[in-house]
Amino acid sequence: MQYRSLGRSPLQVSPLCLGGNVFGWTADERTSFAILDAWVEAGFNFVDTADVYSKWAPGHAGGESETVIGRWLKQGGGRREKVVIATKVGFEMGEGKGGLSAKWIRQAVEDSLRRLQVDCIDLYQAHVDDDKTPLEETLEAFAQLIKAGKVRAIGASNYSAARLAQALETSKRLGLPRYESLQPLYNLYDRAVFERELQPLCLKEEVGVINFYALAAGFLSGKYRKPEDAAQSARGANTVKKYLNERGLKILSALDEAAQRTGSTPARVAIAWVMARPAIAAPIASATSLGQLDELVQASRLVLDGETMALLDRASAEA
């Protein structure tokens, strides 16, 4: 497997990133361990999580995903050396716990290091922009973590093109570490904002893109084709509400055709399409079973020809 550079950083990552949002939530610890083991055994090394995962679930306080990953790493067997661990800071974790102030970053990183049971985080990301905190303060705080050996590289998530450009300029002007990666929403359905505004900037500045929702919260797998398909799932209901429309069905039809052409599945094709797009370093996708993980592994090996890419481009183009 050919790894890819993450921005201008020394980090070399597999061309697909395993999303850790499900660990300790819809994937229990035993299942999560099996998925992580299979991921590494298949030759992949990139795992993404966040301190806030999975605070939204009833009875959860955040940190559940990092805790599961930490317990998996603690089993030994060279696991830590085989993976690039990315986590995030910024979303609210409780009263006064959130944002990108230097004070909170200093506390949050220690909490993440403890839960992950590691000495250093490979990629530490600003999970969401904080316009109440000066970029200089945030970047200086990250710089101190890198200097202390607690973080190797930094990235941004959910930043607009304007704010990412401003952050990169601030880093250059002050001689501070810069965001080497961007984690935006991007998939066959959600294309316009990224391609129009963020992609040109990321290509110009050599910022590696590790986009989330590569499968549009499961919609692009083809499992939601009518409202009733989401009847048993709150997440599915939200997915159907956003994506199940004329354009969404047109994309699914193209995915079906592409899957038939390639002897594959819609999910594999949707991920392969993203992997082939400019600026993309490693799309993020989650799995709650070994069967779903195998789909991701197979997707990483699928190369779409020009005709198939054009078919998908046409079907997903926004008016």
Q: Which residues are catalytic?
A: 53
* CA dist., res. 136 & res. 133, Å (int): 8
Residue in the structure block whose two tokens are 């980090």 = 11
Secondary structure E strands in 235-290? 284-285
Sheet of strand 284-285, all strands in order from the earlier edge strand to the far edge: 208-209, 179-183, 151-157, 121-126, 84-89, 46-48, 17-19, 284-285
Among residues 2, 47, 7, which one has the least CA distance to residue 279? Answer: 7
Secondary structure E strands in 14-74? 17-19, 46-48
**Gyration radius of the chain over CA positions:** 19
Give 48's strand partners: 19, 86
* CA dist., res. 109 & res. 258, Å (int): 43
* CA dist., res. 34 & res. 94, Å (int): 31
Per-residue buried b or exposed e for 139-178, using 16+ beta carbons within 10 Å of the residue's own CB: bbbbbbbbeeebbbbbbbbbbebebbbebbebbeeeebbb
Residues 6+ apart with CB under 8 A from 317: 191
The encoded tokens of residue 141 equal 């705080």
**Antiparallel, parallel or unpaired: β 121-126 and 151-157:** parallel
For helices 29-41 and 290-300, what crossing angle results, to 10°? 30
